Structure 1
Amino acid sequence: MYVIELTLRMSPIPVSVQRKEPSDAEALYQEIRQAIDHGQPRLLDLTCEKVEGKKAALLISEVLAVQLYEKASAAGGSKRPGFSLES
C-alpha cells in the first residue's frame, strides 16, 4: 500500500488516502501537487482504496503539503515518514 498524506492549514492531524499500485499513488501525488501549484480545482475529492467508502473533499487552498510513501507491512518500531525534530 502507498499512502498519500496531506497536511492542512490549522489542523494537527493530516488527511491520508491509500493506493494499491505505485503508479496510481504517483499519479494522485502529481495531481495534488499541480492543484496546489495552480489553485485549480478549488475543491479536491479524494477516495481511499484500502478503506471502502472513505471519502474526503478538501479546499485546495487549505492544503499546505503533500507526501507520498510506501506503508511498511511489517509491524515494528518504524518511524513515521517525513521530517522529525527529534534526533
Structure 2
Amino acid sequence: MYSLEISLRYSPFPLSIQKKEYEDIKRIYDEIKDSMNSDNQNSPLIELSCEKVQDKLITVLAKEVISVQIYEKSAVAGGSKRPGFSLDI
C-alpha cells in the first residue's frame, strides 16, 4: 500500500490517500506537481480518492498545495516514526 500525503497552505495537518499500486500514486503525484508548477491564474481543482477507505474523497485547490510526498506503508515496518524528515537530537 502506498500513501500520498499533501500539505496545504495555512493548514497544520496533512491530507493523505492510499493506493495499492505505485503507478497509480505516482500518476497522481505527477499531476499535483504539474499543477503546482503551472503559472495558470485559474488554479485547477484536484480530486483525490482513496482505495483503503472507499468513500473517502478529497478535493483541493492546486495553488494551496505546498508539498507532496509518496511513501510505502507496510505492516512489517512497525514503530511509530512518520515518513519525511525528522531531527534526532
Settle same-fold status: TM greater than 0.5: yes
The alignment status of 1:25 with 2:21, answered yes or no, reads no
Q: Would you say the 8 A contact 1:39–1:60 is kept in 2? A: no
Equivalenced residues, count: 87
- Is 1:74 the counterpart of 2:76? The answer is yes
**Structure 1-normalised TM-score?**
0.89
Q: What secondary structure does 1:17 align onto?
A: strand
Q: Match for 2:61: what amino acid?
A: L
Q: How far apart, in 1, do the equivalents of 2:11 and 2:52 lie?
A: 23
Unaligned runs of 5+ in 2: none
Q: Percent identity?
A: 48
User: Residue 4 of structure 1 contacts residue 68 of structure 1 at CA under 8 Å; is this kept in 2?
Assistant: yes
Residues 35-78 of structure 1 show CA distances to partners (whole Å, capped at 9, x for unaligned) of 11115652111111110010011011110000000002126214
Question: Structure 1's 56 and 39: CA in aligned 2 closer, same or farther, altered over 3 A?
Answer: farther
Q: CA RMSD in A?
A: 1.6
Which residue of the partner structure matches residue 3 of structure 1?
Answer: 3
Amino acid at match of 2:56: K
Name the TM-score, length of structure 2 as normaliser.
0.87
